[in-house]
Amino acid sequence: MSDSLSKQEKKIAILSKLARRNKIGMNYIPVEKTVSRIPTHARGNIENIIDEMYKDGLLEYHKNKKCISLRPKSIPKVVDLIKEEVPDYIIEKIKVKRDLHLSALLPVHRAKPQPPPDRPRNRSGHPNSAREKAT
């Protein structure tokens, strides 16, 4: 990377680091580790860039803005941005992980539970109360 990185290059560097490490959804990484790929003299206003990516819906914050991850629903946008930066196998890997995240969000159709079979009731009408004394 060159000494002076544009805003777009910084975004791509952050997104590709998250994609390479497969940090999607609740699998997050500290911001310091994410921006370590960008030279310290070129970081500048990196917090503003991360905030902008959050507002665009590309990232999620965790632990009071100390950690970030890719937003599962934004994976198609992320792939368009980083397709020249990362190998194809990484893009396929994050697409598979996205599908797993989104399938976990779908409602599960379960059969209604069957009522328990009728049990003999005592005088109080409750099946679990004390047994009747035999007379």
pLDDT for 134 equals 45
Q: What is the pLDDT of residues 37-92, one digit of tens each?
A: 888 888 888 999 999 999 999 999 999 999 999 998 899 999 999 999 899 999 89
pLDDT for 1 equals 43
Q: Is residue 126 part of a domain?
A: no
Query: What's phi and psi for 32, nearest 5 deg?
Result: -60, -40
Domain CATH code at residue 70:
1.10.10
Domain, as residue range, for 16: 7-105
**Would the pTM count as exceeding 0.75?**
no
Q: Is residue 115 part of a domain?
A: no
Q: Is residue 132 part of a domain?
A: no
pLDDT for 19 equals 93
Q: Is residue 95 part of a domain?
A: yes
Element (H, E) at 60: strand 59-62
Domain count across the chain:
1
Q: How far is the CA of 74 from the CAs of 22, 24, 101, 128, in angstroms?
A: 14, 10, 12, 53
Q: Is residue 58 part of a domain?
A: yes
Q: Is residue 131 part of a domain?
A: no
132's torsion region: left (phi>0), alpha (psi -120 to 50) or beta?
Answer: beta
- Report which of residues 98 and 129 the model is more confident about: 98
